[in-house]
Structure 1
Amino acid sequence: MTRFVKLFIAVFALAWSHAAFAEVRMHFHSFNGSVLFGRYPHAFVVLEGTLSNGRAVNENFGFSAKKTTPAILNGPVKQAIITETPKMIRKTNRHFTLTISDAQYRRIKAEMIRWRDAPGDYYSLETRNCIHFVGRMAELAGLRVEYPQKMLRRPKKWLNHITGLNPSLGASPIR
């Protein structure tokens, strides 16, 4: 074997093994909330793993109002993308996990930026809250999504509903 062929095989093997370890997992979480502790029920996604270029991914995103005031009840308000600490994530409900492609990861990140940077007042308790945000992320990952009116303020119940709509997940509802 020539030196060139050996080098080609080594580079190909290295690239192949690197791609084999690439995997980004997307976890769907809910937080039950507690008025006593100042946190409302919430849904968010966690992305972790490695892209095919070797870049590590460890991110989480939820969509919320920038400020929690009574103005939320009167219509759209300024929005914010919020992240949770590892300690807080451990206290939440992980409903199910998907493996996503690099392309899906890029679309999810781009969509998060669109929601974060939308002009004007973009957060709406009724039409664009954390559930709608997580639902959009789920759609980009290939899941079937619905938004029953009675679940729009109940993230845990809503994610259990999404679990039922997508039996291929192999997940069970969280009690």
Structure 2
Amino acid sequence: MNNALAESQEVDRLLSTPEGQKELLEKAPVGTENLREAAKEIVENEKNNIKQYPDGSFRTPDGKFSSQPGSPAPGTKAAEEFTQFLRNKGFDVVGEELTVKAPVGNRRYDAVVRAPNGDLWGIEYKSGGAGKTRQQEFNDMFVNRFGANGVGALAGKQVVGTITVKLP
């Protein structure tokens, strides 16, 4: 209860004081229409140690992207555009957001493509200077060495390797 009261008071401060309004305008995403919702999101992000960076992205303390409610995850548009670029260049894109069973949890790839010899390759997109987590690095090393069986839409198929593509 005490936390909820403190959060409510912080939202009110952001909306009603000159200092709070300045902070709200600096931190609210461009095009924000509902300042009360933006203030609540700012307070929630600060509670969870999510920070906004100069490029407009939000990141958790461990550097992972975080999105604003109602907005696509950061990098989603760039990933979709690059996958479409691959299709336009004649790559056989098997699917997007597909998963394999890896030694340290499942590994989801942004796209999976089929090489001319029939092999499947998982593609991980990284944007805005983001890097792979240790778990992603380990799972990708494993997949590149031993391959991995697909789950869900990839069930019964094996991904033989991975590629990381850096996007702006």
Fold-level match, TM-score > 0.5? no
**Higher normalized contact order (CA 8 Å, seq sep 6+, divided by chain length):** 1
Over alpha carbons, which structure has the higher Rg?
2
The TM-score with structure 1 as length reference comes to 0.25
Q: Which has the higher strand share?
A: 2
